[in-house]
């Protein structure tokens, strides 16, 4: 199995066997969780794409490009997926859209500043992107349809490679985690190409790693699976960062083709539905 598959499978086993059951008031379901879970993979050796079950590739590819566009209107994204439609406000925007917060929400373009800063100061430890807005997110403010789950990440350059550490306050492990890990590893690869570097370590740290009770059976099925899948190598096209910022839909197709040609997952696990709530 790939390094990501091994770590992910062990995380699912640990939650099922050692986790704590907690009622989720927004969904009415029970979540079984463990606090403080970290997955760590070398993207240069194998892209963290789950192969123990099939996941939809274009969803996380298109979503990550939409983030880099800095949009909070999902119209562009809807040509590939409508996964953000449940979080639309009355004006048709997503209030907690990650890319909008990276590029506009705090009065500065954090992403462009990160690229410029690391170009000038590759040894810097200041390359931090923030998504969580403490002026109105959480802490009893429950009126929003969505709050950021991956709420901050840090980029470091070391050994000629770009490393990304993603911090997630809450992760649905059966549906959200594989999607988020692949998406932010793709972002890491795009940033690395923009800065003329190779991708390095991707670290995925979760404060509340949980499985919903209606996914327990699927989780048991997953940890019984074995799959001898070859490592997956993603080479992003030259100029991907600028093309993503410009909303180049063809870039989605090119990245999909690169991954899909190598991706030979086991069959999907049927019957898993996303639980939509503020979590």
Active-site residue numbers? 149
Joined together, the tokens standing for residue 202 give 């991707």
Contact 157, 118 (CB under 8 A): yes
| Other CB atoms within 10 Å distance of the CB of residue 123 | 8
Q: What is each CA distance from 153 to 31, 94, 112, 149, 182, in whole angstroms? A: 25, 20, 15, 11, 14
Joined together, the tokens standing for residue 7 give 């770590």
What is the rounded CA–CA span in Å between residue 98 and residue 167? 13
Tell me phi and psi for residue 134, to 5 degrees: -65, -10
Contact 202, 185 (CB under 8 A): yes
Contact 225, 218 (CB under 8 A): no
Contact 35, 53 (CB under 8 A): no
Contact 56, 242 (CB under 8 A): no
What is the rounded CA–CA span in Å between residue 91 and residue 167? 29
- 83 CB-near residues (< 8 Å, 6+ apart): 59, 63, 274
């Amino acid at each position: 199995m790939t390094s990501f598959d091994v770590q992910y499978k062990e995380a699912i086993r640990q939650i099922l066997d050692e986790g704590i059951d907690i009622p989720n008031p927004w969904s009415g379901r029970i979540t079984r969780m463990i606090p403080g879970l970290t997955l760590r993979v070398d993207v240069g050796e194998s892209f963290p794409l789950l192969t123990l079950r099939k996941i939809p590739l274009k969803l996380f590819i298109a979503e990550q490009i939409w983030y880099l566009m800095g949009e909070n209107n999902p119209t562009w994204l809807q040509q590939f997926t409508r996964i953000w439609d449940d979080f639309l406000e009355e004006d048709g925007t997503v209030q907690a859209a990650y890319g909008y917060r990276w590029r506009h929400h705090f009065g500065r373009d954090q992403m462009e500043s990160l690229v410029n800063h690391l170009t000038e100061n590759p040894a810097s430890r200041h390359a931090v992107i923030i998504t969580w807005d403490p002026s109105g997110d959480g802490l009893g403010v429950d009126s929003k349809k969505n709050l950021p789950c991956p709420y901050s990440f840090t980029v470091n350059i070391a050994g000629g490679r770009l490393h990304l550490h993603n911090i997630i306050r809450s992760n649905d492990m059966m549906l959200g985690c594989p999607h988020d890990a692949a998406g932010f590893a793709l972002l890491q690869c795009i940033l690395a190409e923009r800065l003329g570097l190779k991708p390095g370590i991707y670290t995925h740290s979760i404060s509340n790693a949980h499985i919903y009770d209606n996914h327990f059976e699927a989780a048991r099925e997953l940890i019984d699976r074995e799959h001898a899948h070859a490592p997956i190598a993603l080479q992003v096209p030259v100029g991907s960062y600028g093309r993503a910022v410009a909303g180049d839909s063809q870039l989605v197709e090119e990245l999909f083709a690169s991954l899909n040609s190598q991706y030979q997952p086991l069959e999907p696990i049927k019957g898993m539905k996303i639980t939509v709530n503020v979590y």
